[in-house]
Copies of this chain bind each other. A is one copy, B any other.
Amino acid sequence: MSTRSRTARRTVGITEVARHAGVSPGTVSNVLNRPERVAEATRLRVEAAIAELDYVRNSSGSSLRSGRSESVGLLVLDVTNPFFTEVARGVEDEAAESGLAVVLLNSAEARERQRRNVRLLAEQRAAGAVVMPIDDDLSDLVWLNRQGTAWVALDRGDVAEDVGCSVSVDNHAGGMAAGRHLIGLGHERATFLTGPFAIEQVRRRHEGLRAAFEEAGLDPDACVRVVEQPLLNPEQGERAVDAVLAGGPRQRPQAVFCANDQLALGVMKGLGQRGLRVPEDVSVVGYDNVDFADLVHPGLTTVAQPKYELGRTAMRLLNSELNHGEHVHERVLFTPELVVRGSTAAYRD
């Protein structure tokens, strides 16, 4: 055990570097920010001084002066969800390339916490933010925009374009792809296992599923049942099994389409515990294609989202908004892709 050395290290700033190199502070600043404006000889001299004094720039000073910091926020619904972490990686990578730091903020699906985090971003004078809003109420974000911080909405295609950019995946198409797949296998009774319908993505996936049945000349009202759970995690999936199976073998769905891989994995576990086999007795389809979907047995058929690309594109959009003076809000829409694995099979009576 030893005591922390409270080194009263005198802070070396731009002015000390300047003195050491025999130039003015302004020149040092130029070397740092617009090297092309300064003659090579002096630039080298300044760089030498920087190295020798082990100078590290103080970003508080610079963002105070310039009015804007060099970090962007990533406001996420739930750090734990593997879907988001993949997105985070995309944002991180793209931000790193433009020298921006990423501040991770977790709303933990709580409105109060989202509000606090938005406020934090405003206090930091963050350059921008990539945001997954907690619900349809965007007033906090509009406020943030008025404070001068730009943002891009993620996975929320319905933001009005006069409010901000958005990057999302076509949830309707995803639901439809899942529906077509099941219908193609001969299923006619499906259950949509989902989280709260307050979440827009979830609603769209449901509509897509129904559209697929309609397209095939089947009545969605008769064919598609819904089981709604309060959260989108594995435990809730497991807990929902009884509701899913309600009605006995004649009424019971031939297939379960889950709004989420986590729900799907939970439901698969629950089905197994009740002696039902996937896919022989029930087919299961998930959504997201998290890494683990490939590792369970049987592999989970699921609607894949380009998670990494999603984050990367959002950050790229944000970047372009930050650099161009004149900016027109954009809306990028990815198309999901069905990945067929072992958890779905043709229906046989």
State the A residues within 8 Å of B (CB).
1-4, 6-7, 9, 11, 56-61, 63-64, 67, 69, 71, 74, 79-80, 82, 85-86, 88-89, 92, 96, 101-106, 113, 116, 119-120, 122-125, 146-148, 150, 161-162, 234, 265-266, 268-269, 272, 291-292, 294-297, 321, 325-329
List B contacts of A150 (CB < 8 A).
4
CA distance A222 to B3 in the complex (A): 46
15 contacts across the A-B interface (CB closer than 8 A): A1-B329, A3-B326, A7-B148, A58-B64, A59-B123, A60-B69, A82-B85, A96-B113, A101-B105, A101-B124, A103-B103, A103-B104, A292-B292, A295-B296, A296-B297
List B contacts of A57 (CB < 8 A).
123
List B contacts of A326 (CB < 8 A).
3-4
List B contacts of A1 (CB < 8 A).
161-162, 328-329
Q: A120-B101, A291-B234 are in contact. Are A64 and B60 (CB under 8 A)?
A: yes
CA distance A151 to B274 in the complex (A): 49
CA distance A63 to B266 in the complex (A): 47
Contact yes or no, B64 A64, CB < 8 A:
yes
List B contacts of A294 (CB < 8 A).
234, 269
List B contacts of A295 (CB < 8 A).
234, 265-266, 268-269, 292, 296
List B contacts of A124 (CB < 8 A).
59-60, 71, 101
CA distance A82 to B74 in the complex (A): 18
Q: How many copies does the complex hold?
A: 2
CA distance A329 to B3 in the complex (A): 7
Chain B residue nearest to A104 (CB atoms) is B104
Q: A85-B79, A89-B80 are in contact. Are A7 and B146 (CB under 8 A)?
A: yes
12 further contact pairs, Cβ within 8 A, besides A82-B85, A101-B124:
A2-B161, A4-B326, A4-B328, A58-B125, A59-B125, A60-B61, A60-B63, A79-B85, A102-B105, A234-B291, A296-B296, A296-B297
List B contacts of A292 (CB < 8 A).
265, 292, 295-296
CB distance from A323 to the nearest CB of B (A): 12
Chain B residue nearest to A160 (CB atoms) is B2
Q: A11-B67, A295-B265, A295-B268 are in contact. Are A80 and B74 (CB under 8 A)?
A: no
List B contacts of A328 (CB < 8 A).
1-4
Contact yes or no, A74 B3, CB < 8 A:
no
CB distance from A283 to the nearest CB of B (A): 16
Contact yes or no, A102 B104, CB < 8 A:
yes
With beta carbons under 8 angstroms apart, the residue of B85, B113, B266 that contacts A85 is: B85
Q: A59-B124, A88-B79, A88-B104 are in contact. Are A327 and B269 (CB under 8 A)?
A: no
Chain B residue nearest to A65 (CB atoms) is B60
Chain B residue nearest to A163 (CB atoms) is B2
List B contacts of A85 (CB < 8 A).
79-80, 82, 85
